[in-house]
C-alpha cells in the first residue's frame, strides 16, 4: 500500500494525502478524516524513507530472535551460542546476495508492533523469525498482512491459507529417534531423557523421537527417567541432579548440547564418570561440544545449510513478489565422540 493507492481509495490527489500526512492546515476536516480512516484501515505507515523507496525493493531483511521475557531468565533464547551462530550464518549468506540484515531481539509482545511497522513502512523486505513458542500468536497476526516471512522451528502450515509461510525445521523427530536408537544399539535399556522446552516444536518433537525409539525396541517408557529442562545449561545441571537422585539410568539422551554440558557437570559433581557410569548424547553439535571432557557425542545439522535455505527462499519470495508457502526439513547426522560406551 502506497500514497497513490490511498489517494485513489479516498478520491483525492496524492498531494492531498501528503498534506494530511504532514498535518498541513489547508485540508478540509472531512477530507482529512476520510484519508486518515483509510490509512488506518489499510495499516499504511507513512514515513519519508518509505515514500522515497516507492516501487523499489528494499535490500534489507530482518533477523528476529523471538525472546519474549518470562520469569525464567535462564531460558532466554538470545543467551544461546547456537542462535548467535545461526544469525552469523544468515548475515553471511544474505551478503552474498547483496542484502543487509537488520538483527533484532523481540523481547516482549509489544515489540511485535515495531516489527510490523518495519514491514509496512518498507524498512525491510522480509523477515526470518526464530525462537517462537508453539503457543505464540503474534507470528500468525503478522502473517495476516501477507508479509514475506520465514519461521524456524514452527509447525509446518503449507496449506495455502493466509497464515502460511516458509517454515524451516530440523528433523527433530528423526534426530531424537536416531540418538535414542544409537544408545539402544550400544546395549542400553534404561535410557533417560532430558527434554528441552516443551513449549517449542523442537522440544516436543525430540521427545517424541525418544519415545518412538523406545517403543520400537520394545522398551517401556518410564516417566521417572524423564526430566524437563528449558534448553539452558543451568536447567541441564539442575534437572540431571533431580533425575539422578531418584533414578540411575545407564544413558541419557539430552535435548540439546547446552543442557548436555550442564548434565555432564552435574554427573561429575555427583562422583560419577562419563561414559563409564552414564553415557550422554546431545543434540545440535555446538562448537563447545567437541571441547568438553569427554567430547560430547551429538546429533548435528549444518547451520550454514539452514541459513542458506532461509535466506535463499526469502529472497526468492521478495524478488518474485510471491508469498511462498513451503516447508523444509533439515536432516541430521550422528557425530560419535567419547561420551557414550557400549554395555553388555
Confidence of residue 49 (pLDDT cuts 50, 70, 90): very low
The answer to whether residues 310 and 162 belong to one domain is: yes
The answer to whether residues 11 and 130 belong to one domain is: no
Please, what is the average pLDDT of the chain? 87
Where residue 275 sits, what CATH number does that domain have?
3.40.50.2300
Angle at 95 between CA 145 and CA 160, to 5 degrees: 30
Look at the block and give the residue holding cell 497476526.
141
pLDDT digits (tens, 9 = 90+) for 306-341: 999 999 999 999 988 777 778 899 999 999 999 999
Angstrom distance (rounded) from CA 185 to CA 203: 23
Residue 75 has pLDDT above 80, yes or no: no
Kindly state whether residue 344 falls inside one of the protein's structural domains. no
Kindly state whether residue 83 falls inside one of the protein's structural domains. yes
**Cell numbers given for 99:** 542484502
pLDDT at 134: 67
Confidence of residue 344 (pLDDT cuts 50, 70, 90): confident
**Residues with Cβ within 8 Å of residue 156, at least 6 apart in sequence:** 167, 169, 327
Q: Which domain holds residue 257?
A: 172-301
**Cell numbers given for 131:** 525462537
- 111-115, 137-141, 286-290: least confidently modelled range: 137-141
Confidence of residue 77 (pLDDT cuts 50, 70, 90): low
Where residue 9 sits, what CATH number does that domain have?
1.10.260.40
Domain count across the chain: 3
Kindly state whether residue 266 falls inside one of the protein's structural domains. yes
Which one has a higher pLDDT value, 33 or 172? 172
The answer to whether residues 147 and 292 belong to one domain is: no
pLDDT at 133: 76
Angstrom distance (rounded) from CA 127 to CA 63: 6
The answer to whether residues 176 and 217 belong to one domain is: yes
The answer to whether residues 177 and 161 belong to one domain is: no
pLDDT digits (tens, 9 = 90+) for 1-20: 677 888 888 888 888 887 78
Which one has a higher pLDDT value, 139 or 80? 139
**Cell numbers given for 142:** 503478522
pLDDT digits (tens, 9 = 90+) for 119-142: 988 899 999 999 877 667 888 888
How long a stretch of residues is the chain?
344
pLDDT at 20: 81
Amino acid at each position: 500500500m502506497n500514497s497513490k493507492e490511498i489517494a485513489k481509495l479516498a478520491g483525492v490527489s496524492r498531494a492531498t494525502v501528503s498534506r494530511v500526512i504532514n498535518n498541513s492546515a489547508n485540508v478540509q476536516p472531512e477530507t482529512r478524516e476520510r484519508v486518515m480512516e483509510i490509512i488506518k484501515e489499510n495499516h499504511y505507515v507513512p514515513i519519508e524513507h518509505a515514500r522515497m523507496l516507492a516501487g523499489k525493493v528494499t535490500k534489507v531483511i530482518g533477523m528476529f530472535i523471538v525472546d519474549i521475557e518470562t520469569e525464567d531468565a535462564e531460558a532466554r533464547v538470545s543467551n544461546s551460542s547456537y542462535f548467535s551462530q545461526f544469525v552469523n550464518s544468515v548475515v553471511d549468506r544474505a551478503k552474498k546476495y547483496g542484502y543487509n540484515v537488520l538483527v533484532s531481539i523481540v523481547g516482549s509482545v509489544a515489540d511485535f508492533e515495531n516489527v510490523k511497522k518495519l514491514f509496512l513502512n518498507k524498512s525491510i523486505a522480509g523477515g526470518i523469525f526464530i525462537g517462537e513458542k508453539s503457543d505464540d500468536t503474534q507470528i500468525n497476526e503478522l502473517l495476516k498482512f501477507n508479509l514475506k516471512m520465514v519461521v524456524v522451528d514452527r509447525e509446518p502450515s503449507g496449506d495455502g491459507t493466509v497464515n502460511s509461510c516458509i517454515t524451516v525445521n530440523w528433523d527433530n523427530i528423526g534426530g531424537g529417534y536416531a540418538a535414542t536408537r544409537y544408545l539402544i544399539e550400544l546395549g542400553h535399556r534404561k535410557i533417560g531423557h532430558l527434554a528441552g522446552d516443551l513449549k517449542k516444536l523442537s522440544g516436543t518433537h525430540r521427545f517424541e523421537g525418544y519415545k518412538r525409539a523406545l517403543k520400537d525396541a520394545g522398551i517401556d517408557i518410564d516417566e521417572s527417567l524423564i526430566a524437563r529442562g528449558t534448553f539452558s545449561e543451568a536447567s541441564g545441571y539442575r534437572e540431571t541432579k533431580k533425575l539422578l537422585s531418584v533414578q540411575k539410568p545407564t544413558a541419557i539422551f539430552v535435548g540439546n548440547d547446552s543442557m548436555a554440558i550442564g548434565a555432564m557437570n552435574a554427573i561429575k559433581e555427583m562422583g560419577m564418570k562419563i561414559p563409564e557410569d552414564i553415557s550422554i548424547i546431545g543434540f545440535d553439535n555446538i562448537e563447545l561440544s567437541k571441547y568438553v571432557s569427554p567430547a560430547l557425542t551429538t546429533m548435528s545439522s549444518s547451520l550454514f545449510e539452514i541459513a542458506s535455505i532461509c535466506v535463499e527462499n526469502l529472497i526468492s519470495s521478495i524478488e518474485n513478489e510471491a508469498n511462498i508457502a513451503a516447508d523444509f526439513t533439515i536432516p541430521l547426522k550422528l557425530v560419535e565422540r567419547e561420551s557414550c560406551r557400549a554395555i553388555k
